[in-house]
Amino acid sequence: MKTIMTGAATLALLAGAAYAEGTADKRIALSNNYAGNSWRQAMLQTFEETASAAVADGVVAAADAFTTSENQTTEQAAQIQNMILQGYDAILLNAASPTALNGAVKEACDAGVKVISFDSIVTEPCAWRIAVDFVEMGRQEMDYVASRLPEGGNLLEIRGLAGVSTDDAISKGIHEGVAKHSQFEIVGAVHGDWAQDVAQKAVAGILPSLPDIVAVVTQGGDGYGAAEAFAAAGRPTPLIVMGNRQDELKWWAEQRDANGYETMSVSIAPGVASLAFWVAQQILAGEEVPKELTVPFLTINQDGLDAALETTPEGSVANVSYSLDDAKAVIAGAK
């Protein structure tokens, strides 16, 4: 797997495309429920780089991305139904709900359309699921916080987009971590929607009611907003787990240089969209692909901060892109 900068996915695809067979007439669509943060924008960009190179190379006939205007399951279900009518052979799905779209997904499967959910997945058995172990990600956040602050203390939890499987899973892992490290207590929780501006406003709103906070556990896209809210309130900056966004990494580096601030950063890479594309291509090519595929989350530690910041475009998020060979390796590992 390769760390990418803008445009580099194209180069990675050309070598792998030569091995693709039997899908030149197939059409793939991406149904995305939300694009309101830098992670989703990077995900869409990575998909576009992957898809445009694959179409140009004759791997598939079309690969189109569609994002709903609102994070509404009814709108996304209608979008999936339209994709069925438009004759797409496979649908990549970043879902607004793990369960509410199951009916539309089953309609697609019954019509012969392959549905590959990724990042925020669905539970319908006919669909494929590609995700990191988000519960484990939450647990590892708490293991890190406990290693840094063995005396424990009060925590603020910033959650993601309400109702989405990713939010529930990471929060579950964080709460399991708190149960393991019982010297900590979550004394407040807000939804930051994986966006810095939303997180900043939500944290600013709850801070006056909270006691001293030793650490903030997060889901990605919210760390810088939390730091700004603490600064505006005149409160000491706690240990904040970051989420691989460029503004978070930049703030972290500035604080490290100024006062030795230390933390860690973790998230799923937006390039999971490129993995979903190649998994769909392999399914359409007739390969046997397990329904459950797991990819590693992308972790940045203190030693890796400068390298990650150097390769992350301003306003974007640290990323890796997946090639066809990477997808084959993930599939083989799942078998």
Span 156-176, pLDDT tens digits = 999 999 989 899 999 999 999
pLDDT tops 50 at residue 301: yes
CB 137 within 8 A of CB 177: no
- Torsion 86-89-94-100 (CA) sign: positive
CB 292 within 8 A of CB 129: yes
> What pLDDT score does 36 carry?
87
Domains and CATH numbers, the chain: 2-132+269-295+320-334 (3.40.50.2300), 134-267 (3.40.50.2300)
Quickly state the pLDDT bin for 21 (edges 50, 70, 90): low
> What pLDDT score does 4 carry?
38
Partnered with residue 225 across adjacent β-strands are none
Its pTM stands at 0.85
Strand stretches in the chain, DSSP E: 2-3, 27-32, 62-67, 90-94, 114-118, 128-131, 153-159, 184-191, 215-217, 239-240, 265-267, 292-294, 298-300, 320-321
Across residues 15-35, what is the average pLDDT?
Answer: 80
pLDDT tops 80 at residue 7: no
Per-residue model confidence as pLDDT tens digits over 43-80: 999 999 999 999 999 999 999 999 998 889 999 999 99
Closest CA to 63 of 327, 272, 281: 281
Closest CA to 53 of 79, 26, 22, 18: 18
Per-residue model confidence as pLDDT tens digits over 109-135: 999 999 999 999 999 999 999 988 999
Partnered with residue 159 across adjacent β-strands are 191
